[in-house]
Amino acid sequence: MTETSENPTAFQSDFLKTLQARGYIHQITHPAELDAAAKSGVVSGYIGFDATAPSLHVGSLIQIMMLRRLQQAGGRPVVIMGGGTTKVGDPTGKDASRPHLTDETIQSNIASIKTVFEKFLAFGDGPTDAIMIDNDDWLSGYGYIQFLRDYGTHFTVNRMLAFDSVKLRLEREQPMTFLEFNYMLMQSVDFLELNRRQNVTLQMGGSDQWGNIVSGVDLVRRVDQKSAFGLTTPLLTTASGGKMGKTAQGAVWLNAEQLSPYDYWQFWRNAEDADVGRFMKLFTDLSLDEVAGFEALEGAAINDAKKALADAATTLLHGAEAAATARARSESQFEKGEVQPIEVIDFIWGGDQGFEKQSAAALVKAAGISSFKDANKSIANGEIRINGKIATAAEFYSPGDVDPVHGAFLVQKGKKTSKLVRPV
């Protein structure tokens, strides 16, 4: 049985000492052995990312930062793009099967996602340079009979049913296809192939991946009798218990095409007070001494810490210039009273219904601020302003009612969300 530890202490290697100090560690297999390996030489570690969309979201950022920490500590990060596993779909934490994507869509998504990793990791041919590999290179080459013969005997259905990724799905009485049931085997074989091809000895991931990771560790040790380790991060939630990276406007994407640098900066600026120090440790390169200084701030000064968090996080992803521009724009808009909306959204006024007038809720929805249902709630609560005036559900607007300064409707929710909706 794989040895594990949830509360390891007294690490000697820079890598594990850093991870522990900054709050990345949840569970580790063979912690003392991994610590010794990281202290004595270059450890190659990998994390896999499936390509279900053109961009990863901020929920994946903690994994990207772990690869960055590995490289900073003298290890070699290996990024695995799931060209093969995306065709199956990870059932972890889901009640329904993923929609099947074409090979062309998967490869297009991978090409888009790749650009983000270049911001966080140094790629090249050196001993600690990052590399990126597509697991379709080997998974699609297996014949069904060969795959079952070579690896099926190393997995028992009894144990697979005991892992949370399977057990919780079945307990919710949601069906799991045989295709999805094979995901654990495929991820385990990834580790074995990477160990053989690239001498990768460490697999990392979120705590929900623990079962898959342990299976891969056991497979490498059982089949090839080589060292292999697993490490997971804790489940990441906000201080109020919400899911990290989920907002009223949707997912917080990492690619600028899906989310502007300004909106990304605002996401970090709007972090809860109790999360600022923790997020600085996980998502920025600010030193622990700097973080401690920001954590000591109280009252209104906490806003300075939030801006520092937003600056540092946005600089890593989009660059210092984009971060500075976002900060200046935000301060101008919300602190100096100058109205500089986030973006202008063209709205086909009549739409398919040919309506001559639009409700306040329709303008809120057109601005992408919230759904129609949520917009009505916000309006009822007095949270919505249109052209500077509090909107009511009884108000309707014609194209001629635009704000004369902007030639568009200025739609605002609270003090932190502002969009222009331009009728076309």
State whether 74 and 207 are in the same domain: yes
Looking at residue 407, its pLDDT comes to 77
State whether 290 and 393 are in the same domain: no
Examine residue 252 and state whether it is found in any structural domain, yes or no.
no
State whether 321 and 387 are in the same domain: no
State whether 68 and 172 are in the same domain: yes
**Domain termination site, one of 295, 313, 334:** 334
State whether 352 and 325 are in the same domain: no
Contact (Cβ atoms closer than 8 angstroms) between residue 254 and residue 109 = no
State whether 156 and 303 are in the same domain: no
Domain that holds residue 182: 4-233
State whether 48 and 87 are in the same domain: yes
Looking at residue 324, its pLDDT comes to 94
Looking at residue 243, its pLDDT comes to 77
Examine residue 243 and state whether it is found in any structural domain, yes or no.
no
Residue 241: other Cβ atoms inside 10 A: 6
State whether 192 and 144 are in the same domain: yes
Looking at residue 80, its pLDDT comes to 93
**Domain termination site, one of 334, 366, 384:** 334
State whether 329 and 363 are in the same domain: no
**Domain termination site, one of 275, 305, 334:** 334
State whether 28 and 137 are in the same domain: yes
Interval 232-272: pLDDT, tens? 999 888 888 887 876 655 689 999 888 889 889 999 999 99
Number of domains in the chain: 3
Examine residue 249 and state whether it is found in any structural domain, yes or no.
no
Closest CA to 305 of 267, 261, 268: 268
Examine residue 64 and state whether it is found in any structural domain, yes or no.
yes
Examine residue 241 and state whether it is found in any structural domain, yes or no.
no
Q: What is the pTM of this model?
A: 0.73
Q: Where are the alpha helices (DSSP H) in 199-272?
A: 210-223, 261-269
Q: Could you tell me the CATH number of the domain that includes residue 140?
A: 3.40.50.620
Average pLDDT over all residues of the chain:
85
Strands in 229-233's sheet, in edge-to-edge order, are 4-5, 27-29, 229-233, 202-206, 44-50, 76-82, 131-134
| Burial readout 272-284 (b: 16 or more C-beta within 10 A, e: otherwise) | eeebbbbbbbbbb
Determine the Cα–Cα distance for residues 219 and 208; give it in Å rounded to an integer: 19
3-state secondary structure of 301: helix
Interval 77-102: pLDDT, tens? 999 997 777 776 555 544 445 567 78
Looking at residue 88, its pLDDT comes to 65
Q: Could you tell me the CATH number of the domain that includes residue 321?
A: 1.10.240.10
Burial class (CB in 10 A: 0-12, 13-18, 19+), 242: exposed
State whether 186 and 285 are in the same domain: no
Looking at residue 30, its pLDDT comes to 95
Contact (Cβ atoms closer than 8 angstroms) between residue 62 and residue 283 = yes
In this structure, the strands spanning 384-386 and 250-251 are: unpaired
Closest CA to 205 of 238, 229, 175, 182: 229
Q: Could you tell me the CATH number of the domain that includes residue 351?
A: 3.10.290.10
Looking at residue 419, its pLDDT comes to 85
State whether 349 and 322 are in the same domain: no
Looking at residue 95, its pLDDT comes to 46
Return averaged pLDDT per consecutive 10 residues of the chain, 424 residues in all.
54 96 96 96 94 89 97 97 72 53 86 93 96 87 72 74 69 69 81 95 93 92 95 90 69 89 92 95 98 94 95 97 90 62 73 70 87 86 86 88 77 80 84
Looking at residue 145, its pLDDT comes to 67
Examine residue 352 and state whether it is found in any structural domain, yes or no.
yes
Examine residue 238 and state whether it is found in any structural domain, yes or no.
no
Examine residue 339 and state whether it is found in any structural domain, yes or no.
no
